[in-house]
Amino acid sequence: MAPMMIDEELKSKVVTSKREWGASWWTQYSILFWRGLKERRHDYFSWLRITQVVATAVILGMLWWQSGGDSPKHMQEQAGLLFFIAVFWGFFPVFTAIFTFPQERAMLNKERSADMYRLSAYFLARTTSDIPLDLILPVLFILVVYFMAGLTHDVCAFFLTVLTTFLCIVAAQGLGLAIGATLMDLKKATTLASVTVMTFMLAGGYFVKDVPVFISWLRYLSYNYQTYKLLLKVQYKEKNDWVDGIKVGNGVREASTLLAMVFGYRLLAYISLRRMKLHSRA
């Protein structure tokens, strides 16, 4: 979707002289946050997007219908479902986020040249206005899959599954933002993202169990791998310490790694925007 031009409310509140900001940082952030929320809510909740998520959830639920159980065989079968969840919610956010800054570059240059807001206020508003929207569809997806597939019937396990999926989405989104902001070229960014996502998926520990030592370090950079291990921990920690050839730990390292990716990728995206030639101070 083409970026919307600045609205009259933002013009009246934020337009300023070259020497002074017309509004506080928090006011700039708040106005930009609500503008972003209004602009993108229709895209997030389009019938096409909702149908895609619900249809995928229903198909997965039917394929893994009531597959739960305590036996190693049942756990191994369900591990495939958990890995698909990690891949599915780690794929689309990357390619959606890639378009963010390249598409808004012209608008950002124009509004920043007039000193309408600080770059930090814009960046934080742009990256946080998606978070409330990002949570709704995954919850709908997990609601359908969780009970159809017969995953662990425990309230805590359900909410931890939702939280893990959400962490995966935000980490993947950060990667997309970083790639888009660094390259500012949609063709190059899409190519790099495709190779990166494919590498992370293959290194995720499901397709290849005995990864050669010289390339095994890639799995620790893969949010798919970290999400997969966390989902295994949530579902099977009380049943078995080993599932599908992977040791289920306490989950602290995986959660910490995902959080580091969430903030690290966004920091890289912000630094890339700062280096862009904008006609104003940051």
21-50, pLDDT tens digit by residue? 667 889 989 999 998 888 777 777 778 888
Higher pLDDT, 145 or 73: 145
Please state the rounded mean pLDDT for residues 213-232: 85
Cβ pair 38, 4 in contact under 8 A: no
Round to whole Å and give the CA distance between 31 and 205.
43
Query: Which pTM was predicted?
Result: 0.84
Pair of tokens at residue 70 = 């305590």
What rounded mean pLDDT belongs to the chain?
Answer: 82
* Share in percent of the chain as helix, strand, coil (round to 5): 75, 0, 25
Round to whole Å and give the CA distance between 103 and 192.
17
The CA angle 134-187-102, to the nearest 5 degrees, is: 55
**Residue 15: predicted pLDDT:** 47
Using pLDDT thresholds of 50, 70 and 90, give the confidence band for residue 17: very low
Round to whole Å and give the CA distance between 7 and 9.
6
175 pLDDT higher than 90: yes
Round to whole Å and give the CA distance between 165 and 138.
7
**Residue 6: predicted pLDDT:** 52
Pair of tokens at residue 257 = 């790694």
Residues 6+ positions from 83 with CB-CB distance below 8 Å: 204, 206, 224, 228
CA-closest candidate to residue 65, choices 142, 146, 145, 149? 149
Sign of CA dihedral 220, 225, 157, 265: positive
Using pLDDT thresholds of 50, 70 and 90, give the confidence band for residue 241: low
CB atoms within 10 A of CB 20: 7
279 pLDDT higher than 60: no
